[in-house]
Chains A and B, each alone.
Chain A
Amino acid sequence: MEKLVNDFSFGLFFWQIIILVVLILLLKKFAWKPILDALNAREQGIQDALDSAENARKEMQNLQADNEKLLKEARIERDNMIKEAREIKERMISEAKEEAQKEGEKMIVQAKATIQNEKNAALADLKNKVATLSVEIAEKVVREELSTKAKQEKLVEDMLDDVTLN
């Protein structure tokens, strides 16, 4: 202890205090303040960047979800449209078929009627022609049969014979 007291250098203590205080003040002004400010700013910047990245990620997620939803909706809509179109197509086809059938039947009926009419007309015509022809033939035959006197007599005789027989 005696030695410590004997060796204690007041001058060294004096300079040390001055140097230390000046050093603290100078370093604070020229080094620590800008360094700590820069570090804080950097950390704040990193934190902000992380936060904004997180936000962007969330937004992205939301967007993706929205997109998916839209896609899903679009898909459903498309499916509906296809289904509807198919239905319309089928309905149109069946309707067309029905219509065609009806039309066809109608045409067939009409054709049948026309054929019948034509047939009837032809038959009537034929009948008329046959009747005329028969009359003409009969006239000619009669005329032939009765062209001579003998023949006429013979006929009368035959007829009279028939009547007697009966």
Chain B
Amino acid sequence: MQKENIAKFLLACLLMFVSFNSQAFSAKEPQEGEDAKVNTEEEIQAYIDHHLQDSYYVNFFSDGETGAHYGFPLPVILWDGGLKVFSSGKFHHGEDIVEVDGQHYRLYHSHIYKTDAEGTITYNEAGFPANERPWDFSITKNVLTMILVSILMLIIFSQLAKTYQKRAFPKKFGRVLEPLVLYVRDEIAKPNIGKNYRKYTGFLLTVFFFIWILNLLGMTPLGVNVTGNIAVTFALALVTFIIVQFSGNKDYWKHIFWMPGVPVPMKIILAPIEVLGMFTKPFALMIRLFANMTAGHVIVMTLVGLIVIFQNWIAGPAFFGFTIFISVIELLVAFLQAYIFTLLSALYIGMAVEEHDHEHPADNEDIPVL
């Protein structure tokens, strides 16, 4: 009985979140012009695309009837023959062309393009805007989210560090964090890296919590999709790549360029494959996290969109149920992807720092098979 009540309560909470999200579908798209509501397939498709993109605004929700947006603009920082800083509010959600130092900029489908005074956009053969884009270092919604998450992490974990000065076992929230820290150290860093694990545990812990918190934030109605952005996952994978290459020992490089234990022609064939492997590993990291998080967002939003499209009493609850089901799975995926990214990073570092011992084949049983 007790369990049922808890389940009902959780359902109600999810319902609130989801209904809040679906509310947003009624919002007016800035580029859509006259249509007050988003309720056709194309509009929903555009809305989902828009959600997956980074944004120059923090938009809590919009009023579909009046076209009013509730949120705040973020600073736009451009480098275009000189530093240009202005508020994204000047774009009026893409409706206005901003002129800075005689140069016109237009916000078009979540990107800033250089245009003429009328805001003309030319297209290339693939159908993408061909206008020149300035170097864009704006503090976008994703950047702001990352900064806030970083500050949050700094506060939480430096607090945790402080509690250890007073007592051996943390209290309250620290009791939740400690097992996670221990988990990353004992289950990810130690078994995969080996005796030098301590050097890399800081990186692994940071990446794990960073990805996990951002993944979870993606589940909230705030509508941020940081880890589902390929620029972010590229940066994460790049850091892993650099750490792996810089911690690689002699054995690691030998295994890449001159594989021991195989005939010379094989060595020559294997070298380019191994070099390629150096890059495919972090590339897979980047794509895996990006694709998983994007897919999760697309599925959840599509299911919510289907409720709007069908608009009847049978499909509505059914898709609502699906949405909750997928949302719960996404909660798991949020953790899982953070775990996998950290685990594989640890694995790659472990491969780079591993001590090989090929002179004594009898000892090979001691070397973990990676």
Identify the A interface with B (CB < 8 A): 2-4, 6-17, 19-24, 26-28, 30-36, 38-39, 42, 45
Q: A9 and B229: CB pair below 8 A?
A: yes
User: Looking at chain B, what size class is its interface with the partner chain?
Assistant: 35 or more
B310: chain A residues at CB < 8 Å are: none
Q: B140 and A31: CB pair below 8 A?
A: no
Q: B236 and A39: CB pair below 8 A?
A: no
Query: Of the candidates A3, A15, A36, which one forms a contact with B201 in the assembled complex, judged by CB atoms under 8 Å apart?
Result: A36
| Count of chain A to chain B residue pairs whose CB atoms are closer than 8 Å in the complex | 130
Query: Of the candidates B135, B161, B235, which one forms a contact with A34 in the assembled complex, judged by CB atoms under 8 Å apart?
Result: B161
Of the listed residues B77, B136, B142, B231, the one surrounded by the most CB atoms of chain A closer than 10 A to its CB is: B231
- Which one of B15-23, B62-70, B151-159, B344-352 is at the interface? B151-159
Identify the B interface with A (CB < 8 A): 53-54, 77, 110-111, 126, 128, 135-140, 142-143, 146-147, 150, 153-154, 157-158, 160-162, 164-165, 168-169, 178, 181-182, 185, 198, 201-203, 205-207, 210, 229-232, 234-236, 238-239
B138: chain A residues at CB < 8 Å are: 11
Query: Of the candidates B135, B210, B229, B230, which one forms a contact with A20 in the assembled complex, judged by CB atoms under 8 Å apart?
Result: B210
A39: chain B residues at CB < 8 Å are: 164, 178, 181-182, 185
- Sorted from nearest, which 10 A-B pairs have the closest CB atoms? A38-B164, A31-B157, A16-B235, A28-B202, A34-B161, A13-B231, A32-B202, A12-B231, A11-B136, A15-B143
Specify the main secondary structure of chain A where it touches its partner: helix
Bound state CA distance, A31 and B160, in angstroms? 7
Bound state CA distance, A12 and B111, in angstroms? 12
Query: Of the candidates B143, B161, B236, B239, which one forms a contact with A30 in the assembled complex, judged by CB atoms under 8 Å apart?
Result: B161
A–B Cβ pairs within 8 angstroms, 11 of them: A2-B128, A12-B54, A12-B142, A12-B143, A16-B232, A20-B235, A23-B150, A30-B161, A34-B162, A36-B181, A39-B178
A23: chain B residues at CB < 8 Å are: 150, 153-154, 206, 210
- The smallest beta-carbon distance between B247 and chain A, in angstroms, is 14
A19: chain B residues at CB < 8 Å are: 143, 146-147, 150
A8: chain B residues at CB < 8 Å are: 230-231, 234
B164: chain A residues at CB < 8 Å are: 34-35, 38-39, 42
Q: A35 and B147: CB pair below 8 A?
A: no
Bound state CA distance, A7 and B290, in angstroms? 13
B234: chain A residues at CB < 8 Å are: 8, 13
Q: B235 and A24: CB pair below 8 A?
A: no
Q: Which residue of B lies closest to A16 (CB)?
A: B235
Q: A16 and B146: CB pair below 8 A?
A: yes
Q: B206 and A12: CB pair below 8 A?
A: no
Q: B232 and A33: CB pair below 8 A?
A: no
A16: chain B residues at CB < 8 Å are: 143, 146, 231-232, 235-236
- The smallest beta-carbon distance between B172 and chain A, in angstroms, is 16
Q: Which residue of A lies closest to B162 (CB)?
A: A34
Bound state CA distance, A6 and B130, in angstroms? 10
Q: A32 and B143: CB pair below 8 A?
A: no
Bound state CA distance, A17 and B242, in angstroms? 12
Query: Of the candidates B128, B158, B210, B231, which one forms a contact with A10 in the assembled complex, judged by CB atoms under 8 Å apart?
Result: B231
Q: Which residue of A lies closest to B127 (CB)?
A: A2
Q: B239 and A20: CB pair below 8 A?
A: yes
B169: chain A residues at CB < 8 Å are: 42
Of the listed residues A12, A36, A38, A45, the one surrounded by the most CB atoms of chain B closer than 10 A to its CB is: A12
B162: chain A residues at CB < 8 Å are: 34
Q: Which residue of B lies closest to A28 (CB)?
A: B202
Bound state CA distance, A33 and B165, in angstroms? 12
